[in-house]
Structure 1
Amino acid sequence: MRAFIAIEFPKDIQHQLGNLAQNLRSSGLRGVRWVAPENIHLTLKFLGDIKTESVQFLTHHLPTIAKAYSPFTLHLHGLGVFPGLRHPRVLWVGVVAPTPLFDLQRDIEALTQRLGVPPENRPFTPHVTLGRIQADFGPQDQALLETQLQASTSIFHMSLQVNQVALFRSDLFPTGARYTLLFHADFSERDEK
């Protein structure tokens, strides 16, 4: 099965991010395949296709990693694109994260390497994908996107507390991906780091 490890967002945060995407659509931005609000999350590690035994391994070991962490706060702020505005491919919401998020991602990376999942080539850049740029994204869309990116830094701020990590299954359909929560691992109950 295709799977990934992520921070699951509460429904109200997903709804607010879905509203942000809807506002961008309403502004006339075309050529973007938008992420469904219920699928919005923060990916820590994409695993690709894994075996059932790997799910059992993660179910056993991921809680140990999670218990080493206390709840922490993420701040969502502004919009951006990967790899850059000249040739955008992914439209994202920025994440201002404390050190524990980077430590957690590094620990998950080490754990999944034990399963044979190759490490990422790029450094971890926390972000929330809102949409993927399509082939019909034209110069007019690019100009509008640039305006929206500049405006977003002053109008969009949101915070959420993180207290667990989750393993999801990803099934692809013609209508888009469907994510199924397989299990979650809770952080310890200590005070926020």
Structure 2
Amino acid sequence: MEKQTHFFFALKLPASTKQLLKEHCARLKESLPFQRWVHHEDFHITLAFLGFVPSNQLEAAINNVEETIPGFGSLHLKINRLGIFGKPDSPRIFFADTEVSNELQLVRQRVYTACIEAGFTLETRPFRPHLTLARKWAGEKPFQREMLDVWNKLQLKPIAFKGTEIALYQTHLDKTPKYEEVKLFSLENTQ
């Protein structure tokens, strides 16, 4: 039986940004016990999670994104704080947050709309751009919101980066890193 695999569109991070986040995570791990830390090659900002998809529908989404993304221009973003999703005392997701970016919101809206027009049913919660760093709290004591101040206590500097590409990723749960780039879309004008 063939394994089902998931696909998603995301903002690809530059290699230098992934490396800086990897170094930050090495320091964060000392203070914050989570069960699984994300491999640095898997860092990204999800724009549209598609799940398992038929190839014809995936092809339609790719074509739609190809039409709407080129020439948008690169995104100047800054990773500057930490956050959690899930129960306040036992979060399931630990993430790095970005400063608010209207440009990122617009790119996400274009990708999201391109996928809807290809027939996908997508997440309807408001878009919260983030980079998942770790999963499942494993501390002996409950998580405390103040623990997110570790970014400042460790004197971690904000990470500014330029996003120039959207990637279509395929998930391979049995591999590390687990996200494979299937296709890249340049935000910059290539002409």
TM-score, normalised by the number of residues in structure 2: 0.85
Count of equivalent residues: 184
1:176 Cα shift? Answer: 5.6
Partner in structure 2 of residue 11 of structure 1: 15
In 2: Cα distance, 1:80 partner to 1:32 partner = 16
The 10-residue stretch of structure 1 (59-68 or 13-22) with the greater mean CA deviation from structure 2 = 59-68
Output one character per residue of 1:76-133: Cα deviation in whole Å (capped at 9) or x when no partner: 0111111463341210001114212111111211111123322323100111100111
Partner in structure 2 of residue 159 of structure 1: 160
The 10-residue stretch of structure 1 (152-161 or 38-47) with the greater mean CA deviation from structure 2 = 152-161
Asked if residue 45 in structure 1 is aligned to residue 44 in structure 2, the reply is: no
Asked if residue 184 in structure 1 is aligned to residue 190 in structure 2, the reply is: no
In 1: Cα distance, 2:178 partner to 2:109 partner = 26
Q: Secondary structure at 1:113's aligned position in 2?
A: helix
Partner in structure 1 of residue 130 of structure 2: 127
> Once the two structures are aligned, what percentage of the paired residues are identical?
22
Q: Secondary structure at 1:118's aligned position in 2?
A: coil
In 2: Cα distance, 1:117 partner to 1:138 partner = 41
Q: Which runs of 4+ in 1 moved over 6 A?
A: none
Q: Secondary structure at 1:14's aligned position in 2?
A: helix
Unaligned runs of 5+ in 1: none
Unaligned runs of 5+ in 2: none
Partner in structure 1 of residue 111 of structure 2: 108
Output one character per residue of 1:1-57: Cα deviation in whole Å (capped at 9) or x when no partner: 310100111222111111221112233x32331100111111111110012223322
In 1: Cα distance, 2:55 partner to 2:121 partner = 18
| Maintained 8 Å contact 1:71/1:189 | no
Instruction: Write 1 or 2 for the structure with the bigger share of helix.
Output: 1
Q: What amino acid does structure 2 have at the position aligned with 1:6?
A: A
Output one character per residue of 1:121-148: Cα deviation in whole Å (capped at 9) or x when no partner: 31001111001114x44316x25x733x
The 10-residue stretch of structure 1 (121-130 or 18-27) with the greater mean CA deviation from structure 2 = 18-27
The 10-residue stretch of structure 1 (14-23 or 77-86) with the greater mean CA deviation from structure 2 = 77-86
Asked if residue 22 in structure 1 is aligned to residue 26 in structure 2, the reply is: yes
In 1: Cα distance, 2:87 partner to 2:161 partner = 27
| Maintained 8 Å contact 2:24/2:156 | no
In 1: Cα distance, 2:24 partner to 2:61 partner = 34
| Maintained 8 Å contact 2:10/2:46 | yes
In 2: Cα distance, 1:176 partner to 1:105 partner = 27
Asked if residue 96 in structure 1 is aligned to residue 99 in structure 2, the reply is: yes
